């Protein structure tokens, strides 16, 4: 028979052993993976801190106070907070994906419009060619009828010269850019053809000369306007391609403004810091490629903050961050005289600073590729 002393010692040992670890603690610890923790701490710092605090309270209640109910309560709160942070992070991912999809749709619509425009231009060119072929056929027929006439060849040569000038004017869209001179050239050409067909070669020659002069005038007026249109279309296509390339950078957005193409980057810096973080090396490398591929464009790097804290401190921080990105570009080989840095503090928000998500959107660096004049 065991002694009363032994029974007392056994009861005391049982009382000192820790209670079973609550399942709520295990649940939270399973949720809090290293990858998830890094993402939540970056995107949802407040919820991350709250979940951590509840988790520490749960551990203290279990390990120090042996209060299983309190530990379960805090662990449950930690898990709920953590799941809320995960849901909000996923919502940000969905929003980013939606923004990218809308951008791709806009680019596709613009490409479709450009394709339709090119199809219209091609159709017009076909029509012009068909008219010229028909005209040439008429000229050949008229030459056959008038080959015995002593001045037919002279009139034919003048008509051919006028036709060349008229075709050149058409290629410069003179019908739009110089309508009066172009209409005069067409009318004179039609009269020259009619006169030639009727055997009146001197009159045909005179009208052909008039058509030649009017076509040259139309081409001279239309050429600079046509070249300006072509240059404008080329610039628009180039800027659209730059927007697409900027939007393709990891974690970046891009859009076109009157001043040029704006590539918007976020989370390049730690809270309150002005040193670039290594995690964004891919974005920065892509930015250097864009700058190198567009070596004729000036670049302005703008730093922006939310409105928390003092305006003077925000301005200084935004300027330091802009200078850090500009220095990175220069160090990577971008000419220093192309790059300027500008801190704008909280003066240009793009979202509501009263909301956490809005403040996160306002904390950004914008790299502006200035539109050429």
Q: Which residue, 322, 285, 277, is CA-closest to 300?
A: 322
Instruction: Write out the H or E segment, with its range, that includes residue 349.
Output: none
Res. 37: pLDDT tops 90: no
Element (H, E) at 300: strand 299-304
| pLDDT band with cut points at 50, 70 and 90 for residue 89 | confident
CB hemisphere CA count around 200 (13 angstroms): 11
Q: What is the rounded CA–CA span in Å between residue 13 and residue 334? A: 73
| 3 state SS of 342 | strand
Please tell me the predicted confidence (pLDDT) of residue 11: 45
Among the residue ranges 10-24, 104-118, 285-299, the one predicted with the least confidence is: 10-24
Residue 299 pLDDT grade (very low, low, confident, very high; cuts 50, 70, 90)? very high
> Percent of the chain, pLDDT > 70?
91
Q: Greatest CA span in the chain, whole angstroms?
A: 150
pLDDT at 320: 96
Looking at residue 304, its pLDDT comes to 96
Cβ contacts of 57 within 8 Å, gap of 6 or more: 70, 74
Q: Does residue 370 carry a pLDDT above 70?
A: yes
Place of tokens 């009382």: 15
Q: In what order do the strands lie in the sheet with 299-304?
A: 252-257, 260-265, 364-370, 299-304, 339-343
Ranked by mean pLDDT, the top range of 92-101, 248-257, 275-284 is 248-257
Q: Residue 32 has what DSSP assignment?
A: -
Separation of alpha carbons 315 and 305, rounded Å: 8
Q: What is the phi-psi region of residue 269: left when phi exceeds 0, alpha when psi lies from -120 to 50, beta otherwise?
A: beta
Average pLDDT over residues 197-210: 92
CA 365 vs CA 91, 300, 343: distances in Å: 22, 10, 9
Closest CA to 84 of 282, 356, 326: 356
Reply yes or no on whether the pLDDT at 237 is more than 90.
Answer: yes
What percentage of residues in the chain have a pLDDT greater than 90? 50
The rounded mean pLDDT for the chain is 86
Q: pLDDT of 324-360, one tens digit each?
A: 999 999 999 999 999 999 999 999 999 999 999 999 9
Q: Is the pLDDT of residue 126 over 80?
A: no
Collect all residues with Cβ–Cβ distance below 8 Å to 188 and sequence separation of at least 6.
Answer: 162, 207, 208, 210, 211, 214
Residue-level pLDDT at 221? 92
Assign domain 249-370 to a CATH class: alpha beta
3-state secondary structure of 61: helix
Does 5 have pLDDT greater than 80? no
The total of other beta-carbon atoms located within 10 Å of residue 185's CB is: 27
Spatial contact of 71 and 61, defined as CB atoms under 8 Å apart: yes
Q: What is the pLDDT of residue 367?
A: 97
Residue 298: DSSP 8-state: -
Site of tokens 């007026």: 221
For position 359, what pLDDT does the model report? 93
- Residue 269 confidence (pLDDT) above 80: yes
Q: Sign of torsion, CA 364 365 371 373?
A: positive
Burial class of residue 123, CB neighbours in 10 A (0-12, 13-18, 19+):
exposed
Could you tell me which residue, 134 or 82, shows the higher pLDDT? 82
Mean pLDDT of 112-124: 76
The pLDDT score that the predictor gives to residue 238 is 94
What sign has the CA pseudo-torsion 174, 180, 183, 185?
Answer: negative
pTM (global) more than 0.85 = no
pLDDT at 147: 64
Backbone dihedral angles phi then psi of residue 158, each to the nearest 5 degrees: -70, -40
Q: Return phi, psi of residue 66, to 5°.
A: 55, 30
User: What secondary structure letter does DSSP report for 271?
Assistant: T
pLDDT at position 366: 96
According to the model, what pLDDT value does residue 239 have?
95
Count Cα atoms within 13 angstroms, Cβ side, for 118: 7
């Amino acid at each position: 028979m065991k002694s009363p002393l032994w029974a007392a010692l056994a009861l005391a040992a049982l009382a000192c052993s820790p209670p079973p670890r609550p399942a709520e603690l295990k649940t939270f610890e399973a949720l809090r993976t290293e990858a998830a923790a890094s993402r939540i701490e970056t995107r949802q710092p407040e919820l991350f801190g709250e979940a951590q605090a509840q988790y520490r309270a749960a551990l203290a209640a279990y390990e120090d106070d042996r209060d299983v109910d309190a530990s379960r309560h805090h662990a449950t709160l930690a898990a709920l907070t953590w799941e809320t942070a995960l849901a909000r992070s996923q919502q940000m991912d969905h929003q980013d994906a939606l923004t990218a999809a809308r951008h791709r749709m806009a680019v596709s619509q613009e490409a479709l419009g450009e394709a339709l425009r090119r199809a219209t231009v091609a159709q017009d060119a076909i029509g012009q060619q068909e008219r010229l072929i028909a005209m040439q056929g008429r000229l050949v027929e008229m030459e056959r009828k008038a080959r015995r006439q002593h001045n037919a060849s002279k009139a034919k040569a003048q008509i051919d010269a006028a036709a060349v000038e008229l075709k050149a004017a058409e290629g410069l869209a003179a019908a739009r850019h110089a309508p009066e001179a172009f209409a005069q050239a067409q009318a004179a050409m039609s009269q020259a053809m009619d006169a030639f067909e009727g055997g009146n070669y001197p009159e045909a020659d005179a009208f052909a000369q008039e058509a030649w002069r009017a076509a040259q005038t139309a081409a001279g007026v239309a050429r600079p306007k046509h070249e300006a249109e072509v240059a404008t279309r080329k610039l628009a296509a180039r800027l659209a391609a730059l927007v697409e390339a900027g939007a393709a950078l990891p974690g970046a957005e891009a859009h076109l403004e009157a001043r040029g193409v704006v590539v918007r980057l976020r989370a390049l810096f730690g809270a309150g810091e002005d040193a670039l973080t290594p995690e964004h090396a891919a974005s920065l490398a892509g930015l250097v490629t864009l700058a190198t591929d567009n070596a004729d464009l000036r670049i302005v790097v703008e730093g922006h903050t939310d409105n928390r804290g003092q305006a003077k401190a925000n301005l200084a921080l935004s300027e330091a961050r802009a200078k850090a990105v500009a220095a990175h570009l220069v160090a990577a080989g971008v000419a220093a005289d192309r790059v300027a840095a500008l801190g704008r503090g909280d003066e240009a928000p793009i979202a509501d600073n009263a909301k956490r998500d809005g403040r996160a959107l306002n904390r950004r660096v914008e790299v502006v590729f200035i539109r050429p004049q």
